Chain A
Amino acid sequence: MNESEFEHELRALRPAAPAPSLVKRIAAELPATHAITVAPSRTLDHAPAAGVVARPERGSTLLGLLRGLLWAGAGAAVASFILLNREPQAPVPSPTTTAPSMAVSGTADETVSELIDSTDEGLIYDQDTPQRQMRLTYLERHVWTNPQTGAVIEFEVPREDIVLMPVAMQ
């Protein structure tokens, strides 16, 4: 007997059929799925004719994009204003809260500068004087509140300072 004859003998046996109740149990569970599949077309105010694909309204996408651009522009303007008017700050070793340093036409300002990373980049020599170069990374968090409208503008700006610290040679 070769392998194909043996396979043929095995295939002659038919797997037992499941109980008739199994298909009913499956049918009872599957319609819920189909309802989910067809639900979007039922929610439309005007039911589309057969074969017509309902397109999402273009206006809502444009409006969303415009709104996003406006918010991004406003954030960028505020960030530019603060960065241009910011006084040079000494490195802050730990999170601190500074008092409001600016007041822009009725808005209160709070700035938190948080040191999130510091890297020792080794010794460098400036005019034969050894100095340790430190790279300090901060995250500045600005919160502006308009007391008249209650609107709050909050944004974060990363900042990186390179600090040279004198090293005393003994």
Chain B
Amino acid sequence: MDSNHTDAHWRTCYEQLAPKLLLFARQWLPSMADAEDAVQNAFVRFWRHQPQAGAEHYPLLYAAVRTSALDLIRSRDRREKREADDRVDVSRADTPVFDTTIDQREHAEAVQAALDQLPQAQREVVVLKVWGELTFAQIAQALGESINTIASRYRYALEAMRRHIKPHDYERV
């Protein structure tokens, strides 16, 4: 394969997926810098092994980001234990997770808060389905779970988020 062709391949993939992958990585790594590191590691590893990857392989890219993020957390934890350093919690607030207009800012913060209160297993499904725009089958492939499990998690997560964001809808019922 021509290297320019491959170059165009990964750049197209990057333009399509980079913000989505970054949002996915930030579910484990709130710091923007850490999340970017995870995306970079995963992206490079993925394209090294799959230089001719097509859109059908993209769910594996999310799986690679997940692995990379978890690796980063483990290595950071080890380093922090070794250095007996105070853990610096980088707040999401300093680098917003969503690109928003002024009108959307309040809603975006509520959505992020609702996401934060979800269990990890549900949160990753919501992010992949809503913002990653993957199908349940693709999410199941990326996370190594059954489609039914993924669909259930999504349903529970969406319900929990709606209760968190729109409590008054439920007060009226």
Contact = CB atoms under 8 A, between A and B. Distances in A.
Interface residues of B, number: 38
Contact of B22 (A3, A7, A16, A35): A16
B6 interface: yes
A15 B169 contact: no
Nearest to A13: B98
Interface in A35-77: 35, 37-38
A32 to B, nearest CB: 9
**Interface SS majority for chain B:** helix
Interface stretch (B44-52, B61-69, B77-85, B135-143): B44-52
B95 A37 contact: no
B39 A18 contact: yes
B74 interface: no
A16 B44 contact: no
A26 B161 CA distance: 35
A2 B58 CA distance: 30
Contact of B51 (A1, A15, A34): A34
Contact of A11 (B11, B32, B95, B130): B130
A97 to B, nearest CB: 51
A38 B6 CA distance: 11
Interface residues on A, range: 20 to 34
Given A25-B40, A34-B6, A18 B19 contact: yes
**Interface SS majority for chain A:** helix
Nearest to B132: A15
Given A1-B162, A10-B130, A11-B130, A37 B6 contact: yes
B158 interface: yes
B96 to A, nearest CB: 6
Nearest to A1: B169
Nearest to B115: A10
A10 B1 CA distance: 40
Interface in A1-31: 1, 3, 6-7, 9-19, 22-23, 25-26, 29-31
A38 B169 CA distance: 60
A14 B18 CA distance: 12
Contact of A7 (B104, B158, B169): B158
Contacts of A1: 162, 166, 169
Contacts of A14: 19, 98-100
B116 interface: no
A16 B126 CA distance: 17
A15 B162 contact: no
Given A10-B130, A37-B3, A37-B51, A19 B99 contact: no
- Nearest first, the 5 A-B pairs at minimum CB distance are A15-B23, A15-B19, A34-B3, A13-B98, A33-B48
11 contacts: A3-B158, A7-B158, A14-B19, A16-B96, A16-B98, A22-B36, A26-B43, A30-B48, A33-B44, A33-B51, A34-B6
